[in-house]
Amino acid sequence: MAALVVPEFAAGISVELDEGEIRTMLARAGRVEHDARSFPLVSRGNALGTMRVGETRFEYDALELPMWEELALRIAVAVDAAQVYAREHHVADTLQRALLPERLPVDDRLVFDAAYLPGAEEAAVGGDWYDAFRLPDGRIAVSIGDVAGHGLRAAIVMGEVRQAFRAAALNPNSPSLVLERANTIVNMRPNPVMVTALFGIVDPGERTITYATAGHPAPILALPDGNAVMLPKDGVPLGIIDEVGATDWSFTIPPGGIFALYTDGLIEYSRDVLDGEKRLLDALRHGVVTGDADPAHALLRRIFNERTNTDDVAALVMRSADVGGSTFAFMFSAIPMAVPLVRRSLQRYVERLGFDEDETFRVLTAAGEALANAVEHAYGANRGAVRVHGSVTDSTLVLTVDDDGRWKPVQRREERGRGLPLMRALMDAVEIRTHQTRTQVRLTMELREGRVSA
């Protein structure tokens, strides 16, 4: 504005705002003497300040006064709009922070850390949240989500949805059912709004989480050896249709591992989602190896160290205490991508016990066959749970793989059917216990004397 006025039409111009008893210089250009002409800045009947114009250089005297009055009016409207927007931004940011939990659950086996970062652009404040609270039975409910839109309205809806999750979680038969209940509440609003969300139930004693998603970015499980993978997701966002159609997924967070939940602002800041996901996985790999004391805050620092977050971001990270021992446990939904996670965790377990390379190979190969069989045969199209348990007693390793499905008949093919003979060749004993609704594969391996260090 000043570049258009000075020096073509006036020697100088200044805009001064009145904030209570304090007058603030908003803009100034050129030379404005004490005898400069003053024009009040008034919008919606409120006096906002003064525009002062230095010596004028106007060719048409009849148009001079109306032009300065019109300019003062336009400046007043712009200033008023900016002040209103700033107040709404402040209210939305304050409300959003007030609705986030003041404290996270404390547990010796799982460390919870959460972080929120408002968008660098004022318009980006709004609807991201995270939550974690203990249920009456001792388990911990977690949720994270993102309300479409920004500003005060998004922050208000965020508060409603977060409370809806808390109410629905009082009877948590399954996370997917909690999402359906929350979806019903969102759809009852006079003006439904789209919400992406993830809800999960954590069992600290077992170090497991069962979760379901509604159009939300996939959670990430990072193992202590530096491997990190995006886990399954499905379901449509809340507020779209009557049914979310989400699936319950279950995974163990192994000792030293971290489980990360986040909103899309953590991967969409560059408008290249694939690159954002890669950077996020790299940051989590680094964080799980270095053992960050504040994993959620450290994650945001790594991602936005040299970048600007254009949208607000929420992150909730759970880190499992890295405690060794003579037992091993891993529970997972029966999907192929989970098998490498179990194998890597099992490898770390036996190496900590002092297994040599040959023993490690035998265990991992036999276990891999048992895991693959459970995934393929136990549940068919359904995604039930597979439980792996290992223990060492009296120089013997016992590893069991359990499922609760009914194995589908094996289709005999020339290239198949070698899994059981391979397990028998590698293990000292293989036992398959089949019940009507349960199958257990029990692998036993005798250890060389002095091998176990746990």
For residue range 18-30, list pLDDT tens digits in order: 877 788 888 888 8
Closest CA to 316 of 136, 111, 164: 111
pLDDT at 308: 76
Cα–chain-centroid distance for residue 250? 17
216 in Cβ contact with 145 (< 8 Å): yes
Cα–chain-centroid distance for residue 206? 22
Closest CA to 329 of 282, 266, 385, 264: 385
Which is it for the CA torsion 426, 429, 434, 438, positive or negative?
negative
Amino acid found at 162: R
Amino acid found at 337: M
| Weakly modelled stretches of the chain, pLDDT under 50 | 122-124, 414-415, 454
* 292-343 residue pLDDT tens: 889 999 999 999 887 777 778 999 999 999 987 889 999 999 999 999 999 9
Residue 380: C-alpha distances to residues 61, 156, 197, 346, 408 (Å)? 87, 43, 28, 25, 7
pLDDT at 128: 87
* 407-417 residue pLDDT tens: 665 555 544 55
Counting Cβ atoms within 10 Å, is residue 226 exposed (0-12), middle (13-18) or buried (19+)? middle
Q: What own/partner pairs with CB < 8 Å and gap ≥ 24 does 346-354 have?
A: 346/388, 346/390, 346/399, 348/223, 348/224, 348/225, 348/254, 348/256, 349/390, 350/397, 352/324, 352/453, 352/454, 353/326, 353/392, 353/451, 353/452, 353/453, 353/454, 354/451, 354/452, 354/453, 354/454
Stated pTM of the model: 0.77
Cα 75 from Cα 38, distance rounded (Å): 13
pLDDT at 214: 96
* 160-211 residue pLDDT tens: 888 888 888 877 679 999 999 999 988 988 887 899 999 999 999 999 999 9
pLDDT at 314: 92
Query: If you compute the radius of gyration of the chain from its CA atoms, what whole number of angstroms results?
Result: 31
454 in Cβ contact with 353 (< 8 Å): yes
pLDDT at 123: 47
Using DSSP's 3-state secondary structure scheme, residue 424 falls into helix
Q: Hey, how many other C-beta atoms are within 10 angstroms of the C-beta on 78?
A: 14
